[in-house]
């Protein structure tokens, strides 16, 4: 561990000084991180689910270098540029037909902030200022900024410290925690009672990410959207973690072809190269909102947009569906048997997502040390030991990850 780093640099979800070792990465290539001690480890996290093509990819490197020779950044207020135009065109083509307007942001959390503001301003401009609440699922996670925190799980999420100062919204049962009919009944009852104060529903489609890595029946989306339409509540899908192939569909909403009113994208948008996100919405909402008083300094950064264009092209021209299916097959064959293990509460697998939920809290330092010794990088949290590997991972590399997971569980 670097002493200066430990004493002075505040890492995510950690203290200063850090109580858990950090590992110094000198370089990265393919699915491997090269540590300063000369060890090479397989990144089973895709750098928090974003590096879907792995590291140091020549196509993405070239896109960044080519753009760097033109301009690394230019403000988006009053100006525009080709990389942003091309990226917006691509996103409009790839997402549901009703989504025609693109608002670029510089992170997933801010994409959610923009979506919430769009919904609030939409109803304000329609004269329904009473619609200032949101409805969302328990177990959800939408980011760490203030508005995003307010729609994360208020009890079991990581933001309970701020519960006393965050806006109060409506939280309903998640179909990943209870039967789908029970979850829908709770949603319907809440909408029946409070819809006149609700601007929008926001949820992660099919997979709830950092709030618990839970998977639910996609049919819930269709029925939840119908209930929202009935009560004139906007429907926001947060695909920041699930977008660009992670679940086995290009977007998780494609499991049922649901059309959200607002869609948030991020993480894998640039293949993990740079921070960039986008919020898409409809003609009607954009016209009603008018001027959205939101404008991040690095909004639509040309470097990030150029790499995003290259990343999407690389993904679509690859056998990504076969790759995801192969990853899912290995995860199922290697991890499913752990459901019977005395230390395991559940195993959940979908696409390139493999989750082992333990009965007890994980000692992160102990587990990370064990994983590193086996040549694997994973970042467990709470009771969850999970992997979301790059799509280019080989079967042997993936087996190294799954075997490391099983070895760790036996050692606990």
Catalytic residues: 13, 141, 238, 267
State the helix-helix crossing angle for 219-230 and 180-194, rounded to 10 degrees.
20
How far is 92 from 404, CA to CA, in rounded Å? 41
Where do the H-state alpha helices sit in 32-141?
46-49, 58-68, 82-94, 108-125
Q: What is the DSSP string of 352-390?
A: TEEEEEESS---HHHHHHHHHHTTEE---BTTEEEE---
User: The tokens of 143 are what?
Assistant: 């980011």
Q: Cβ(106)–Cβ(301) under 8 Å?
A: yes
The set of long-range contacts for 178-185, using a CB threshold of 8 Å and a minimum separation of 24, is: 180/216, 180/217, 180/219, 180/220, 180/223, 183/137, 183/220, 184/220, 184/223, 184/224, 184/227
User: Which DSSP letter does residue 318 get?
Assistant: T
Strands of the 277-281 sheet, one edge to the other: 101-105, 277-281, 262-265, 234-238, 198-203, 133-137, 170-172
Closest by alpha carbon to 392, among 59, 41, 30, 49? 30
Closest by alpha carbon to 311, among 391, 240, 209? 391
Q: Cβ(372)–Cβ(39) under 8 Å?
A: yes
User: The tokens of 71 are what?
Assistant: 């301009």
User: The tokens of 2 are what?
Assistant: 């670097």
**Apex 402 CA angle, 400 and 403, nearest 5:** 65
User: Which DSSP letter does residue 169 get?
Assistant: -
User: The tokens of 342 are what?
Assistant: 């005395």
User: The tokens of 243 are what?
Assistant: 């977008």
Q: Hey, which bits of 94-197 come out as E strands?
A: 101-105, 133-137, 170-172
Q: Name the strand (E) or helix (H) holding 141.
A: none
User: The tokens of 276 are what?
Assistant: 């960039």
């Amino acid at each position: 561990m670097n002493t200066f780093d430990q004493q002075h640099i505040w890492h995510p979800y950690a203290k200063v000084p850090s109580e858990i070792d950090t590992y110094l990465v000198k370089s990265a290539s393919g699915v491997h991180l090269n540590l300063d001690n000369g060890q090479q480890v397989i990144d089973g996290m895709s750098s928090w689910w974003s590096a879907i093509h792995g590291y140091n990819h020549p196509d993405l490197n070239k896109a960044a270098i080519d753009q760097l020779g033109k301009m690394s950044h230019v403000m988006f207020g009053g100006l525009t540029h080709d990389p942003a135009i091309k990226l917006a065109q691509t996103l409009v083509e790839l997402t549901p037909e009703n989504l025609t307007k693109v608002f670029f942001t510089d992170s997933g959390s801010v994409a959610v902030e923009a979506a919430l503001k769009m919904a609030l301003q939409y109803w304000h401009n329609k004269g329904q200022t009473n619609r200032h609440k949101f409805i969302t699922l328990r177990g959800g996670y939408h980011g760490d900024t203030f508005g995003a925190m307010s729609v994360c799980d208020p009890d079991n999420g990581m933001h309970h410290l701020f519960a006393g100062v965050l806006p109060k919204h409506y939280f309903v049962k998640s179909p990943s925690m209870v039967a789908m009919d029970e979850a829908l009944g709770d949603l319907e009852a809440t909408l029946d009672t409070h819809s006149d104060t609700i601007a929008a529903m926001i949820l992660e489609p099919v997979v709830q990410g950092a709030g618990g890595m839970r998977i639910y029946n996609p049919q819930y989306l269709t029925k939840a959207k119908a209930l929202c339409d009935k009560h004139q509540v906007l429907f926001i899908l947060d695909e920041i973690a699930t977008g660009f192939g992670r679940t086995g569909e290009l977007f998780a909403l494609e499991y049922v072809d649901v059309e959200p009113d607002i869609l948030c994208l991020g993480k894998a948008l640039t293949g993990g190269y740079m921070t960039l996100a986008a919020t898409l919405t409809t003609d009607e909402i954009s016209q009603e909102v008018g001027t959205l008083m939101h404008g991040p300094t690095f909004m639509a950064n040309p470097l990030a947009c150029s790499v995003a264009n290259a990343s999407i092209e690389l993904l679509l021209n690859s056998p990504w569906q076969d790759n995801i299916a192969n990853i899912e097959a290995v995860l199922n064959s290697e991890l499913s048997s752990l459901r019977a293990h005395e230390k395991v509460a559940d195993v959940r697998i979908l696409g390139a997502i493999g989750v082992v939920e333990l009965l007890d809290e994980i000692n992160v330092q102990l587990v990370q040390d064990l994983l590193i010794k086996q040549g694997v990088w994973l970042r467990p949290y709470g009771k969850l030991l999970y992997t979301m590997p790059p799509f280019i991972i080989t079967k042997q590399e993936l087996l190294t990850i799954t075997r490391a997971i099983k070895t760790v569980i036996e050692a606990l």
